Amino acid sequence: MSIHSRKTGRGLRAAALAASIAVAVTAAGCSSSDSSSKQDESKPLEIWIRQDAGSPAAQSAEALAAAFSKESGIKTKMVAVGVTDFETKLQQRTAQKDLPDIVINDTGQLGNMVTQGLVREVDKDGIAGSADLADRAWEAAQGYDGKYYGVPFNSQAFALLIRKDWREKVGAQQPTTWDEVTQLATKFTKDDPDGNGKDDTAGLVIPGTTTRGYLTWWFYSMFWSDGGEFVKKQGDGYVSAVSDPASVAAVEKLQALYCEDKVVQPASLTADSTTTHTVFESGKGGIYLTGPYMLPRFDKSLGKDKYEVVAAPAGSAGQTALAEGENVYMMAGSGNEKGQQKFAEYAASPAGQKIGLGVDNGGIIVRLPVNTKVDGAAERKDPRWDVFQKAYDTSGRNVPTLPNWATFRQISSEGFNSVVADCSKDVGESMKELAGRFDEELEKQGAKGE
């Protein structure tokens, strides 16, 4: 039962949620190596990771699995499942009651996987080396009920990638506030920073599609930095905060980027990150808020000397950067639960983290180490990575811990997209409508405050 179940109504809702999870566990948590059968510590582990087969990242994952097998004696089968259809394939295996033993997946998917009963609870104190893992990373492995459902593996924070050559061409300094970002974006849009005599550059590159909640994903850092909040504590639960004055003001600034300043790349509202990566590296956009995993690609396609890494700036409420990453999830129904834990411990250990950095082959599956004994920037001999690490350590913020945050990300993305797609929309009224949807979803998830 949820820790937020002191009141009678809340207790009933939380009990219903717990019951649905129990049913999900029964329905979905039966892998080909069902834990109801005798446990076998030598049983091979099937491990899934969200990477494209044959990619350098997939090769790093294979190296991680091989190193674990060599140390533990447990055989493994590492499966690189495509980035775009990972959830679909996992749901197919769920329907077949044939889950893999291990899934390395986004922290943002934790609530979705917990509510479906796909993952086992983790005894944090029973994980070897748990004290060496960053507190913020453990926070992202924690469910709404206060329990842990994953072991941290990989973390990241966001920073600005800025065309340095363009900035110098227009005679501007590095931005330190969001208002200065807008000013620089305006110069990049209007002052022909590439010198080709054409009006073909945009200041900001934004993945604004509602698919998988992309616009919210991009907007988190700016929204929080300007005092916006998605939910706020009330009683023993939460209520929507997206229609509060600071939240409305932050969304008005987002609308202005599209409608008044007009500094965002064309077709942003249907663009996902696959598209926006290309926009930035092809010289069509000058400022891109993204993660450190893009550095190797842009070093090759654009040139290391052409762009710089700048910390996500401060807003009216200070400096905040989205923190996220991936956990090792021990899936329900495994016939080798001790093996699952051993793999999770190895992946989070200094040895596992260093393999994941991809220093030797460029296949990055650990962006920022979750293990505080590993210095990623020093291992890579690249100080730019330290900008992201410092952002994670000093101003990183995880998404709210709710039963299933992915739903709220999707709902909010639709609300934000609507006010930048139609410049005549009143942001305050639109956020009231979005707040109503949030409160309905909080009620549905058993997390509504009273």
Name, in order, each residue with C-beta under 8 angstroms of 444's C-beta and a sequence gap of 6 or more. Answer: none
Architecture, CATH, for domain 159-322+403-444: 3-Layer(aba) Sandwich (3.40)
Domain ranges of the chain: 8-156+324-386, 159-322+403-444
DSSP state, 1?
Answer: -
Q: Does position 374 have pLDDT exceeding 50, yes or no?
A: yes
DSSP codes, 376-406: HHHHHT-THHHHHHHHHHHHEEPPP--TTHH
Q: What is the pTM of this model?
A: 0.89
Where is average pLDDT lowest: 11-25, 45-59, 191-205, 265-279? 11-25
Q: Does position 325 have pLDDT exceeding 60, yes or no?
A: yes
Q: Residue 442: what pLDDT?
A: 97
Instruction: Tell me the Cα Rg of the chain.
Output: 22
Question: pLDDT above 90 covers what percent of the chain?
Answer: 88
Distances (CA, A) of 118 to 21, 40, 325, 341, 400: 9, 20, 19, 16, 21
Where is average pLDDT lowest: 26-30, 152-156, 347-351? 26-30
324 forms bridges with which residues in the sheet? 156
Q: Which amino acid is at 318?
A: G
> Could you tell me the maximum CA-CA distance found in the chain, to the nearest angstrom?
72
Q: Do domains 8-156+324-386 and 159-322+403-444 have the same CATH topology?
A: yes
Confidence of residue 23 (pLDDT cuts 50, 70, 90): very low
Grouping H, G, I as helix, E, B as strand and the rest as coil, residue 274 is helix
Q: Can you tell me the distance from the alpha carbon of 47 to that of 329, in angstroms, rounded to the nearest whole number?
A: 10
Q: Is the dihedral of CA 341, 368, 397, 400 positive or negative?
A: negative
The phi, psi pair for 271, rounded to 5°, reads -95, 130
Q: Does position 186 have pLDDT exceeding 80, yes or no?
A: yes
pLDDT tens-place string over residues 56-102: 999 999 999 999 999 999 999 999 998 778 889 999 999 999 999 99
Confidence of residue 37 (pLDDT cuts 50, 70, 90): low
- CATH classification code of 8-156+324-386: 3.40.190.10
Q: Does position 320 have pLDDT exceeding 70, yes or no?
A: yes
Q: Can you tell me the distance from the alpha carbon of 376 to that of 357, in angstroms, rounded to the nearest whole number?
A: 7
Cβ–Cβ under 8 Å, residues 257 and 182: yes
Half-sphere exposure (Cβ direction) of 403: Cα atoms closer than 13 Å: 24
DSSP state, 6?
Answer: -
